[in-house]
Structure 1
Amino acid sequence: MNLFLILFSLSILFCTVKTKSNLTLDSFFNYTNFDSLSLSPNGEYLLINTRRPLWNSNSFESIKYTWSPSGKWFFFLLKNNSAINNLKFQYLLKIDLNVEQNIYLYSTENDEIKSVSLGNDIPIAITWSQDDSSLYYATINLNSTDNLKWNDIIQYPLNP
């Protein structure tokens, strides 16, 4: 009984002793968010998506990734310029049109990253084929002058 009282009083004593916090300003501002976890379709790999602030530049990089159906590949986008990373399509007006867009493909079999350049086209939808043989994507080009023309049948002569 005496041993129990001694241990109980020591535990209360240690719980009430003030300890110095290890949190500094650097560790407060250099935090890491774990945005998502994704298990590959074949169950062999776990993809952990993290994000942290970039204090040396006034920007952020968001990552959008999707596993291939076999789990041997995934693609990802690194820039915050893609319309896929934006929650609403209205943010297309705020995108820097001079930044080259890329789709990155990562192979889990040989740890290689391949880049597919899109130029100044902005990806708006990307999907895999069922057998991993193809990656389909749709892009939009906001620098195009075709948007300035009114393409209507009234503009074209009906009689030859």
Structure 2
Amino acid sequence: MINAAILTISDTRTLDNDKSGQIIATALATAKVTVKQRLVVRDDIVAIQSAFLQLEQANPDLIITNGGTGIARRDVTIPALKPLLPVIIPGFGEHFRQLSFAEIGTHALASRAIAGFNVRQQLCFVLPGSTNACHTAVQQLILPELKHLLFERRK
């Protein structure tokens, strides 16, 4: 059984109105992935890192974040989390932007979505906050490749 945690990064969302986090949680549950924990934090580097490390300590197999991956000044998720992911999976971000380009055109260029493994060998996906982007990433990339990526890293 695969266990997951979800971290939403937003200055405006709460667990009650976090549609993107709910879309991720529902898709994971449908795929028989157990969501052990969900958190929401504001767009702040220290708050993001602290929440991420808290989720990491709960020892999930998978951590998915959503929000703060754009290029606005308040979008600090990538600078907060990239240093915590020593193993990056470049193909995820490349293919995610390709899929997004097909859906939303050149606006996809502003996405800095990434994936990788942290020091605990947990698989991590850092997604935009858009509900459509989260749906695309989970359905077309994460769920189809989840077991394979975990298997390969655990060899």
Higher strand share: 1
Higher helix share: 2
TM-score above 0.5 = no
TM-score range, shorter chain: under 0.3
Question: When the two structures are superposed, what TM-score results if normalisation uses the length of structure 2?
Answer: 0.28
Question: When the two structures are superposed, what TM-score results if normalisation uses the length of structure 1?
Answer: 0.27
Which structure's CA Rg is the greater one? 1
